[in-house]
Chains A and B, each alone.
Chain A
Amino acid sequence: MPFKPLPADQAMPMLEWGLNWVITNHAHQYLILHAAVVERNGRAMILPAPPGSGKSTLCAALVNRDWRLLSDELTLIRLTDGMVIPISRPVSLKNRSIEIVRKLGKRVVVGQACADTGKGTVAHMRPPTESVRRMDEPARPAWVVFPQFIQNGAMTCEERGKSTAFVELVHNAFNYNLLGLAGFNAMCGLVDACSIHRITYGSLEQAYRAIDALIEE
């Protein structure tokens, strides 16, 4: 059994982790990246980052600014054609990001916060109806952005070399080794198809500006 039983009030986080576990352990028809992914005009932006970098907060913020939610946690790259397959589920928020997301706007619905889980306090944001309605519609990857929130930091944006990005993405992949040659080919395709940047930001406003500048290029 992969999971130990948890108290009943942690059922929602447990369900989310259980679903993640099932996908990362079984859905090997995809290259699976630990990354949020959003879409606009048919083009997907992949946001890979370690926990604590502000990836989910940024993802929640973007989908409240007319980006379509594909996933806040798992980017599924279809091996046959390199398309990103959506999993439009509630966005998982942790600790301080819960309050930040609650304040994003009137349309935002965040569920009950669940304290003292293995990852601190956890709550989930309802995915936009439009994203759920279009969950069978894949998107072509166009950008990879490595985000890093820095408290009181300044906005920076720099392009990453393809080979450096390749290695970083491998570190963020769940099943790269397991897929062998198919995984290598999918990763090459992804890196070739995308413009790749690293941004740092001290506020969501700064992040929006950096991302707006990127998509206008």
Chain B
Amino acid sequence: MNHRPMAHSDLVISLLREPCNATKLSAQDWDLLVRQARHADVMGQLHSRLSDAGQLDNMPEAARRHLETAWNLSQRHRLAVRWELLSIADTLALLNIPVVLLKGAAYFAAGRMAARGRLFTDIDILVPKEALDTVEQIFIRNGWVPTHLNAYDQRYYREWMHELPPMQHARRGTLIDIHHTLLPPTAGILCDAAALIAVARPLEDAELGAFKVLAPSDMLLHSATHLFYGEFDRGLRELLDLDQLIRELATEPDFWPTTITRARQLDLLSPLHHAVRYTHLLLGTPIPDEVLRTQLDPAMGSIRQRLLDGLFLRAFRPDHASCNDALTRLARWLAFVRSHWLRMPVYLLVPHLLYKSLISLRKEEAGG
């Protein structure tokens, strides 16, 4: 067979998009692919896509072993997450407040496709802002230890962020992020967390009855917000989350009209626009034509869109030398700066970044 070779920089994305391309890869392609996928933290997800497409037998044994290992790890991870969630449920049992799981833990607990093969390092929960102090105290009394103990970081989180400083369980080592809303208040976006909690859904899994998850539209909007207001260090993995959520949630009745209305209410039209555009462009996520034609983000002109494409289409590639072109480093750096720019007004941002660079300089000197 005579095939045009696939660009090396697009191996992972191309295979996620079209798992049947597995038959076109050479042994060298597979070697590179495994390394790229590992850097992008999407090994387990790649395994499920290839497995769904019946392609696992079409790959070299050596490459398949790496993907199978990643898959086995993710299965083991599910057991650990369940155990952790049950322990957290015990901790919060006496508090009569709604506790909403976010991100990876939510996809797992709700049995979403996005959880398949996925690993995550911390558990994210959302609680009503007025309950924040009580929740923090309960966690501390049950063996969780606050991290980021210095005064600057404490103030950074408590005054400016949408979450408490992360806490870690002293024995189990698990990290938990306790959120009171989805975005830092300093981002200047309204995003009414009480409205999200009010319509959060109970879980079908009775053992995890202590928790809720966001309603479908809200789940997608949060995932989009986390990615497009975030630091982009795991861009492709999060884009894959969005792809899976859209494929699965769009089957709910009136999903798209509800989601667009909801995004307008919560002031999250811009991340929704990006989510729709880049999942569709990169991963071929099915999006109805009328949604693609809708001007979701009124502020998005064509020049701005071209610039952002230049930025994101590079920053979504796996962070691996073989995926980089001359502008990739710049694009990644700009994506990082952009996330901070969106999250904080400039009079807070500049001193914050200065402080952080001083600290890292000092650490480098001390570390030699």
Residues of chain A having any CB pair with chain B under 8 Å: 26, 28-29, 178-180, 182
Contacts and interface: CB of A to CB of B under 8 A. Distances in A.
Contact of A26 (B69, B75, B76, B79): B69
Contacts of B73: 28, 178
Interface residues of B, number: 9
Nearest to A180: B76
A13 to B, nearest CB: 20
17 contacts: A26-B66, A26-B69, A28-B69, A28-B72, A28-B73, A29-B65, A29-B68, A29-B69, A178-B73, A178-B76, A179-B72, A179-B76, A180-B72, A180-B75, A180-B76, A180-B79, A182-B72
A28 B68 CA distance: 9
A26 B73 CA distance: 11
Nearest to B34: A26
Interface string B42-74: 000000000000000000000001101100110
Instruction: Report whether over half of chain A's contact residues are helix, strand or loop; otherwise say mixed.
Output: helix
Instruction: Report whether over half of chain B's contact residues are helix, strand or loop; otherwise say mixed.
Output: helix
Q: Please list the 6 inter-chain residue pairs (A to B) with the smallest Cβ-Cβ separation, ordered nearest first.
A: A28-B69, A180-B76, A29-B65, A178-B76, A178-B73, A28-B72
B223 to A, nearest CB: 28
A1 B79 CA distance: 29
Candidate in B73, B75, B76, B79 with the most chain A CB atoms within 10 angstroms? B76
Contacts of A29: 65, 68-69
Contacts of B75: 180
Candidate in A28, A29, A179, A182 with the most chain B CB atoms within 10 angstroms? A28
A97 to B, nearest CB: 31
A79 to B, nearest CB: 10
Contacts of A178: 73, 76
Contacts of A179: 72, 76
A179 B69 CA distance: 9
B171 to A, nearest CB: 15
B63 to A, nearest CB: 12
B366 to A, nearest CB: 15
Contacts of B66: 26
B368 to A, nearest CB: 10
B290 to A, nearest CB: 46
Contacts of B68: 29
A49 B267 CA distance: 60
A182 B71 CA distance: 14
Given A178-B76, A179-B76, 11 more contacts: A26-B66, A26-B69, A28-B73, A29-B65, A29-B68, A29-B69, A178-B73, A179-B72, A180-B72, A180-B75, A180-B76
A41 B350 CA distance: 71
Nearest to A29: B65
Nearest to A28: B69
A178 B71 CA distance: 12
A182 B79 CA distance: 14
Interface in B90-147: none
A16 B355 CA distance: 40
A28 B69 CA distance: 6
Contacts of B69: 26, 28-29
B41 to A, nearest CB: 14
Contacts of A28: 69, 72-73
Contacts of A26: 66, 69
Nearest to A25: B69
